[in-house]
Amino acid sequence: MQVDSSSWFIPKINKKKLKTLSKRSDWPGLIHFTIYFSSLFIFGYLSYIFWGGILFFLFFFIYSSIYAFVVANWHETVHRTAFKTRWINEIFYHISCFQSYSEPISLRWSHSFHHSNTLKTQDQYDHEIEVSRPTDLLKFFLKFIPLTDFFYIHQSPFVNIIKLSLGFVSPSMKVAAPKKEWQKIIRNARIYFFLWLIIIIFSYLINSWWPIIFYFLPTFIGRPIHFAVNVTQHLAAKFDSKDHRLSTHTIILNPILSFYYWHMEYHTEHHMFPMVPSYNLKKLRKEIEDDLPPPFYGLFDFYKKVLPSLIKLAFDLNEYYKVNIPYDKK
């Protein structure tokens, strides 16, 4: 089946089955956030208890790694698929945005743009691409080491919020968000900045670093595991293609990572049908599997196969990862 260059490739699926898979429920979201915040509290408390000892570093790294998966939380809620009830979804979306230092209005527009223009480079550039082309190999490999994001603090969400609060609109926001939304986005950034000051002042008043440690440090320390998982979505994939099978990857992860990642390892399926809740993506794959390339089985399998292409992309933009996709022979 040849893909029309003006529209996205869509695999065949029974409409009734798709409608069933697209149904939402409040329970999966409530269960997910209960476990997420409970595990944060447990490892945060253990970090506090073992402050000054060697176990602090272990427990705080686990706390930070779980915290970093907040990106998956805002991702599921930005699609409004985490909960059936709209207002519950919005509450957790805004909580997740504040946790991840992401302004919620611009993020919603940016992510919608990413789905409409996945890995597009011409005219309207997809600014949600985590690894630029040509590949900056030093920056890429540093991200697997805790705290190295400080080397790129100027590109961090923190600095973006500060710039927004001062009225500076980023190039990505100019592309994705309508101009009528800019003042609301700037207002929200100023609210975030004000809340950050409150956290810092509160830490000073109680003579404790803990509020700052638990809120500001986790993404710098816990990012490596989340990055290793999250960057697989489009790593070294083909640019400017209207076929998600070429621009997006699917990986089979272990149950723990899959849970905290909201099952977004089924990313090809998610991009094809973004309104299907994450907990139904595995079922969705079974319905359209004949039209999809085989998945990667674990992170080791993924990096073993894709990393050589990523390294080559540092020198040649034509060396993207080549996917063998099935075609309809009718």
pLDDT, tens digit (0-9, with 9 covering 90-100), for 93-124:
999 999 999 999 999 999 999 998 888 876 65
Which own/partner pairs from 302-307 qualify as long-range (CB within 8 Å, at least 24 positions apart)? 302/232, 302/249, 302/251, 306/232, 306/235, 306/236, 306/249, 307/236
pLDDT score for 327: 64
pLDDT score for 160: 94
Q: Is the pLDDT of residue 329 over 60?
A: no
pLDDT, tens digit (0-9, with 9 covering 90-100), for 268-306:
999 999 999 999 999 999 999 999 999 999 999 999 999
DSSP, residue by residue, 232-260: GGTTTPPSS-S-HHHH--BEE--HHHHHH
**Residues 282 and 289 sit within 8 Å (Cβ to Cβ):** no
Least confident of 39-53, 116-130, 145-159, 233-247: 116-130
CA dihedral sign of residues 233, 237, 239, 243: negative
Element (H, E) at 43: helix 26-49
> Which residue did the predictor score with more confidence, 3 or 63?
63
**Over the chain, what is the mean pLDDT?**
93
pLDDT, average across residues 53-73: 97
> Which residue did the predictor score with more confidence, 330 or 111?
111
pLDDT score for 297: 97
What residue ranges do the domains of the chain occupy?
A: 23-100
User: Of the ranges 74-78, 125-129, 153-157, which is most confident?
Assistant: 74-78
- What is the spatial distance between Cα 12 and Cα 1, in angstroms, rounded to a whole number? 11
pLDDT score for 124: 59
How large is the greatest C-alpha to C-alpha distance in the chain, in angstroms?
72
Least confident of 125-139, 147-161, 237-251, 272-286: 125-139
pLDDT score for 123: 60
Q: Is the pLDDT of residue 134 over 90?
A: no
pTM given for the model:
0.93
Three-class SS of residue 103?
Answer: coil
- Confidence band of 127 (pLDDT split at 50, 70, 90): confident
- Confidence band of 1 (pLDDT split at 50, 70, 90): very low
pLDDT, tens digit (0-9, with 9 covering 90-100), for 169-214:
888 888 889 999 999 999 999 999 999 999 999 999 999 999 999 9
| CA 211 to each of CA 55, 261, 289: distance values in angstroms, whole numbers, following the listed order | 20, 25, 47
pLDDT score for 2: 36
Q: Is the pLDDT of residue 65 over 70?
A: yes
